[in-house]
C-alpha cells in the first residue's frame, strides 16, 4: 500500500471490535502518531478490552483505558448486565436492548477532551450508518451535530472522522483486506455479544451481521 502518512496525529476510539480495529489500522496508514482510547464501562464482553490491549501491544500503539463505569450505573443494559439477555432479533420499533444510551455520545465527548489535552484535532470512530443496527448515535447526522457541539464547547477545531460511515459489513471486510489485516481482524477482534473472540458464537445479532458480511466478501473475492 502506498505511503499515506501525511498527517501528524489522531485519537482512535478503540473497543477491540471489528469496526474500531479496522479504523485503527486505517489510521496507522495515514498518521505518524496514533493514540488508541478504550473505555471500560463494565461491558459483559470484557474480553474485547483484552483484544484491544493485545492488538495495541503487538502493533506498538499507545493505548489509554478510561474508566467509564458511570455509564453502567446510568444505563443498565443487555451489554452490561449478566441478568439481561441480548435480544436475538431486532425489535419492531425502538432501539434494540443492546443499545447503551449515551455510549457514543459520551465516548466521543471524552475522546475530544483527551485529544485536546494532547494537542490533537482528529478523532476517529468506527460508527457506520449503513449497518447501524438501530443505534441512533451511529448516524452521520449525530456525529456531525456532536462535532459542532464539541468545537463550540472547547473552542477547538475537532474533526471527527468516520471511515466506515457509508460502508456495510462486506465493504468493511474489504477495507480490512486492502489494509492487509483481514486475518488479524477476523481472528483477534471481538464483536460477539456473548463474548467469544473471532468468529464468535454465530447466533447473536452481532455475529450474524459480521458473518453475513464476511461470507459475502469472501464469495465476491473468490468470484473475481
Ligand atoms: Zn455472537
8 alpha carbon to ligand 1 midpoint, in Å?
37
The span from the CA of 27 to the CA of 109, in Å, is: 20
CATH number at residue 201: 3.40.50.620
Backbone angles phi, psi at 67, to 5 degrees: -80, 115
What domain range includes position 58?
A: 7-222
In a domain, 125, yes or no: yes
82 alpha carbon to ligand 1 midpoint, in Å?
15
In a domain, 172, yes or no: yes
The span from the CA of 57 to the CA of 78, in Å, is: 29
34 alpha carbon to ligand 1 midpoint, in Å?
29
186 alpha carbon to ligand 1 midpoint, in Å?
13
pLDDT digits (tens, 9 = 90+) for 111-156: 999 999 999 999 999 999 987 667 888 899 999 999 999 999 999 9
204 alpha carbon to ligand 1 midpoint, in Å?
4
User: pTM for the full model?
Assistant: 0.89
In a domain, 2, yes or no: no
In a domain, 1, yes or no: no
In a domain, 142, yes or no: yes
**Low-confidence winner among 80-89, 176-185, 200-209 (lowest mean pLDDT):** 80-89
What local confidence, expressed as pLDDT, does residue 1 receive?
Answer: 45
In a domain, 106, yes or no: yes
174 alpha carbon to ligand 1 midpoint, in Å?
21
Tell me how far the alpha carbon of residue 164 is from its chain's centroid.
9
151 alpha carbon to ligand 1 midpoint, in Å?
37
pLDDT digits (tens, 9 = 90+) for 194-217: 889 999 999 988 899 999 999 999
The span from the CA of 114 to the CA of 11, in Å, is: 9
Give how many domains the chain has, as a whole number: 1
102 alpha carbon to ligand 1 midpoint, in Å?
23
In a domain, 37, yes or no: yes
Amino acid at each position: 500500500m502506498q505511503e499515506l502518512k501525511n498527517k501528524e496525529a489522531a485519537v482512535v476510539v478503540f473497543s477491540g471490535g471489528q469496526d474500531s480495529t479496522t479504523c485503527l489500522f486505517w489510521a496507522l496508514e495515514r498518521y505518524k502518531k496514533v493514540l488508541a482510547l478504550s473505555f471500560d464501562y463494565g461491558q459483559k464482553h470484557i474480553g474485547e478490552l483484552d483484544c484491544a490491549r493485545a492488538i495495541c501491544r503487538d502493533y506498538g500503539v499507545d493505548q489509554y483505558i478510561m474508566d467509564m463505569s458511570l455509564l453502567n450505573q446510568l444505563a443498565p443494559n443487555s451489554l452490561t448486565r449478566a441478568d439481561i439477555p441480548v435480544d436475538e432479533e431486532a425489535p419492531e420499533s425502538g432501539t434494540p436492548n443492546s443499545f447503551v444510551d449515551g455510549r457514543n455520545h459520551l465516548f466521543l465527548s471524552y475522546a475530544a477532551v483527551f485529544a485536546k489535552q494532547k494537542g490533537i484535532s482528529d478523532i476517529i470512530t468506527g460508527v457506520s450508518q449503513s449497518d447501524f443496527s438501530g443505534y441512533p448515535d451511529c448516524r452521520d447526522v449525530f456525529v456531525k451535530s456532536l462535532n459542532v457541539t464539541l468545537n463550540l464547547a472547547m473552542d477547538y477545531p475537532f474533526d471527527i472522522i468516520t471511515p466506515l460511515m457509508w460502508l456495510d459489513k462486506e465493504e468493511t471486510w474489504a477495507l480490512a483486506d486492502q489494509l492487509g489485516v483481514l486475518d488479524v481482524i477476523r481472528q483477534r477482534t471481538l464483536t460477539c455479544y456473548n463474548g467469544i473472540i473471532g468468529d464468535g458464537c454465530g447466533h447473536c445479532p452481532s455475529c450474524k451481521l459480521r458473518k453475513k458480511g464476511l461470507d459475502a466478501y469472501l464469495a465476491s473475492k473468490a468470484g473475481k
